[in-house]
Amino acid sequence: MGIAMLNRMKARTGLLPLTVVLTMVISGTATLYAQNDPNIFVNVTSNQDKAADNKFGKEYHNSLRDMLENKMFNGIKAAYPCLHYLDQSAAEQMVGVERMRELLGGEGESRLPAIANAVGAGHMGMANVTVMGGTVVITGSIADPKSASASGRAQATAPAGNNDAISAAMTQFVSQLVASTGSAGPKCSSWQGEISASSSLHEKGKNPNGDPFTIDTDLKITCQMGKNDNDPPPCQVSYSYKMAGKDSSITTSSAGEPRCVASAGIYNGIGKVRVGPCRFQAIRNIAVAGTSASDKNEISLGGWDWEFPVPRDARQLTGSKQVDKATTLNWSLTYR
């Protein structure tokens, strides 16, 4: 379709370009919110004997502790993506440095449940790296702070001074530690159900020449949340658009699977659902004074979102809201 022909069509019909109409009809912004997922408090310690002091220096175990802290964070987050990870620094920020000093006043693992309870952690992890002469020993466990009973334990060793071997041993240790918890470990839940957005706009008017025109837009996007742990979730789109005037028309249609952003969550007592932006391929047909042309292009629509007060521990979100004059959001979700 040539530019000249499009300009003649606009002059005849007075119709706005497709992108302008959609901008007016379908618009919005979105911010992702997180559900109150399970969390874990992890404490990593280190020490070494005098033989290691003489061979590697008194601060050697501190560098190994830093390495193990990094391995613990990466390994646990990889196994449980939803898990909120709290180390000692994060715990100090939550309960205060002085309170942490009081909680750390005990000896051994017995102090950790008090810290985990103080920060509201549903799980606690502990790991220690000890350098004994020429050997590095890594031990640790994951436990329930209420019972202080370990749900999983692991141990690994490596030759001191060999960073590659130590790094590999730590990676193996964290992997075994996570695997050893089995069904007693943290569980990542998600919002499951459906979120949809429907838009419908039907308008009539006359262009400056007095010729009538019509605009009809219908859109339905439906996303299945929590299905097969897909990210982004699978969605379906049904879209039709038509501008018709004297001796001219534009029709655009699409049906299938768009690339779509959709989310749901609760944060600080506020629930939020979101659909879009969504991108999909559409077929456009243009007819002007007996001449027609068609092409395929990509359309991006959305997004739409809505916030509403809910209990912080809510496990169901169900509702419907008209978010603008043409668009309605519907959601029916369960957190499990």
Crossing angle, helix 60-79 and helix 163-180, to 10 degrees?
40
Confidence tier at 330 by pLDDT (50, 70, 90) = very high
**pLDDT tens figures, 210-252:** 889 999 999 999 999 886 555 678 999 999 999 999 889 999 9
Instruction: Kindly report the pTM of this predicted structure.
Output: 0.54
Which residue has better confidence, 291 or 26?
291
- pLDDT at 311 (0 to 100): 86
Mean pLDDT taken over the chain: 81
Where along the chain do its domains lie?
3-35+189-335, 39-184
pLDDT, average across residues 106-135 = 78
pLDDT tens digits, one per residue of 279-310? 999 999 999 988 999 999 899 988 899 999 99
The confidence band for 332, taking pLDDT boundaries of 50, 70 and 90, is very high
pLDDT (0 to 100) of residue 29: 29
Query: Architecture of 39-184 per CATH?
Result: 3-Layer(aba) Sandwich (3.40)
